[in-house]
Amino acid sequence: MKKMLVISVAGLDTDTAAALSLQAATGPAALQPPFPAVTCTAQASFRTAAPAAQHGMVANGLYDRALRKVSFWEQSSALVEGPRLWDAYRAEGRSVGMLFWQQSLGEAADYILSPAPIHKHHGGLVRDCYSQPRDMYTRLRDTLGEFPLQRYWGPFASASVGEWIASATADVMAHEAPDLLLTYLPTLDYDFQRTGPHSPAAARATAQLDKQLHRILAACDTCGYEWIVWGDYAITPTMPGGALFPNRMLRQAGLLSCREVHGRSYPDFHRSAAFAMVDHAVAHVYLSKNADEDEVARLMTQLEGVDLVQTGKTRGDVHPRCGDLVLTAAPGHWFAYPWWDHARQAPDYATHVDIHNKPGFDPCELFMRWIPPGVGQDPQRVGGTHGRADSTTAWAASIAFNTRPATLIELANSLKHWLALSLPSQDPDTSKA
């Protein structure tokens, strides 16, 4: 039985997939992403074959109601609740590897690789990767050079980081050779967000992705792997003035409280009646016990560019981590986290790449501001966004399933069935996809 490689590609939509030179047995075909269509939710939905209401990754960020603290891009696998699609497969002695997947640290897998820099006490950091086993990254670093962390996110992020990941993926298939390997290519993400998915820069990123996939899929042929490629979300163009500021509206209404420290404004989640944790085209609004949900919902509907406001009465089945209100931006719009009105009031982290502490995703970190040095603060420069689930992604595979998956969760279940067929205890004559 052949091994399986799964490649999660950031921003892969049907148009982009059609421009790739994939020699696929199935696809490229349209795929419905889970809601919200963001990285952590999509990858958690795939590995559990379940929606966010079950696995709990309701966004790229999380709000801890007990600590009253927001954090983005936490990496503990314990945050993803529920069984994994490979549990039975691995229980039979098959090996599993994860490269650059979110929430992979501590995962029930045999091989793990993820960026994990060490932040030094007096500033600066030590660029490093978490590796299981540890000598796997040591070997990759000796062969490929140090992982280019500065290219993974921030103003210097580029499609070139995918070159390192593609080479590492091929290397792991050849040396560690896990039976199931999941990897991630962020190649499209940066320029699709900076300049929009239809820009010349986006076309160049697509060409680079094509070369990276060609390298990986050639390694699949050499190492005896079947493969599945799928997109976690589709990036759509923003419109002029497309940035929305729910926290400014909440502050003006007296619902978001702030501390003024040395002339800078910091949110006070301990005293706030409401605040918005923003993530691309979706925002989770968290309320204090004394807040009036209907009043806050009416206020949010007045924010021009908001397409949908879901309350506890209209959301249906949700996870406890979900906001008390969930906002979805209209096409061409996205939610920005700032609550201040003037740049001089911005907290110190606003002009830095600070992905873990900002109370919202900040695509402005993709832009450089030179005077004074720092990352940009102009949200109108952002060219692409995602999060809405009505923009289909794409998938392709070297194999054909018994049924054709139309959603990401269906694709995950199809893979789960394919893995089951390779187990000695499974009778393929009695199995149905």
pLDDT value for 371: 82
User: How far is Cα 384 from Cα 339, in angstroms, rounded to an integer?
Assistant: 22
Among residues 428, 400, 396, the alpha carbon closest in space to that of 414 is found at: 400
Q: Kindly report, residue by residue over 24-75, the tens digit of the pLDDT.
A: 999 999 999 999 999 999 999 999 999 999 999 999 999 999 999 999 999 9
Among residues 82, 81, 83, 86, the alpha carbon closest in space to that of 62 is found at: 81
Residue 412 has pLDDT above 60, yes or no: yes
Residue 433 has pLDDT above 60, yes or no: no
Residue 347 has pLDDT above 60, yes or no: yes
Pairing of strands 258-261, 26-31: unpaired
Q: Are residues 42 and 141 in the same domain?
A: yes
pLDDT value for 429: 46
Token pair 């949700």 is at which residue?
A: 318
* Overall average pLDDT of the 115-128 stretch: 86
User: How far is Cα 276 from Cα 293, in angstroms, rounded to an integer?
Assistant: 13
Q: Are residues 51 and 179 in the same domain?
A: yes
Q: Are residues 227 and 353 in the same domain?
A: no
pLDDT value for 425: 66
pLDDT value for 426: 58
User: How far is Cα 253 from Cα 264, in angstroms, rounded to an integer?
Assistant: 20
Residue 432 has pLDDT above 50, yes or no: no
User: How far is Cα 229 from Cα 217, in angstroms, rounded to an integer?
Assistant: 10
CA 124 to the chain's CA centroid: 25
Two tokens at 272?
Answer: 């706030």
Among residues 292, 260, 297, 290, the alpha carbon closest in space to that of 276 is found at: 297
CATH at residue 372: 3.30.1360
pLDDT value for 121: 81
Q: Are residues 299 and 393 in the same domain?
A: no
Q: Which amino acid is at 263?
A: G
Q: Are residues 199 and 247 in the same domain?
A: no
% residues pLDDT > 90 (the chain): 90
* Overall average pLDDT of the 342-353 stretch: 93
Q: Are residues 226 and 257 in the same domain?
A: no
Q: Kindly report, residue by residue over 128-187, the tens digit of the pLDDT.
A: 999 999 999 999 999 999 999 999 999 999 999 999 999 999 999 999 999 999 999 999
Residue 46 has, within 13 A of its CA and on its CB side, a CA count of 32
CATH at residue 398: 3.40.720.10
Among residues 24, 69, 54, 60, the alpha carbon closest in space to that of 40 is found at: 60
pLDDT value for 364: 97
Q: Are residues 347 and 230 in the same domain?
A: no
- For residue 298, what are the domain limits? 243-382
**Range of weakest confidence among 78-82, 89-93, 273-277, 421-425:** 421-425
Provide the 3-class DSSP secondary structure of residue 303: coil
Two tokens at 214?
Answer: 């060609």
Residue 428 has pLDDT above 50, yes or no: no
Close Cβ partners of 134 (under 8 Å, ≥ 6 residues apart): none
User: How far is Cα 279 from Cα 282, in angstroms, rounded to an integer?
Assistant: 5
- Averaged pLDDT score across all residues of the chain: 95
* Helix or strand holding residue 415 (H, E): helix 408-421
Pairing of strands 69-72, 61-64: antiparallel
Number of folded domains that form the chain: 2
User: How far is Cα 335 from Cα 338, in angstroms, rounded to an integer?
Assistant: 9
CA 90 to the chain's CA centroid: 25
Close Cβ partners of 338 (under 8 Å, ≥ 6 residues apart): 245, 247, 248, 346, 350, 379
pLDDT value for 120: 86
Among residues 97, 180, 89, the alpha carbon closest in space to that of 426 is found at: 89
Q: Are residues 378 and 393 in the same domain?
A: no
Pairing of strands 374-375, 282-287: unpaired
CB 75 within 8 A of CB 62: no
Two tokens at 218?
Answer: 């050639």
Q: What is the dihedral of CA 210, 216, 219, 223, to 10 degrees?
A: -140
pLDDT value for 431: 43
Residue 246 has pLDDT above 50, yes or no: yes
Pairing of strands 111-115, 129-132: antiparallel
Burial of 433 (0-12, 13-18, 19+ CB in 10 A): middle
Among residues 361, 300, 274, the alpha carbon closest in space to that of 59 is found at: 361
Q: Are residues 343 and 398 in the same domain?
A: no
Q: Kindly report, residue by residue over 358-375, the tens digit of the pLDDT.
A: 999 999 999 998 888 899
Q: Kindly report, residue by residue over 283-318, the tens digit of the pLDDT.
A: 999 999 999 999 999 999 999 999 999 998 777 778
Q: Which amino acid is at 257?
A: S
* Overall average pLDDT of the 340-354 stretch: 93
Q: Are residues 371 and 401 in the same domain?
A: no
Q: Are residues 220 and 369 in the same domain?
A: no
Q: Which amino acid is at 421?
A: L
Q: What is the dihedral of CA 267, 270, 274, 279, to 10 degrees?
A: 60
pLDDT value for 427: 52
Provide the 3-class DSSP secondary structure of residue 420: helix
Two tokens at 47?
Answer: 């590995």
Q: Are residues 37 and 117 in the same domain?
A: yes
Q: Quote the DSSP letter at residue 24.
A: -
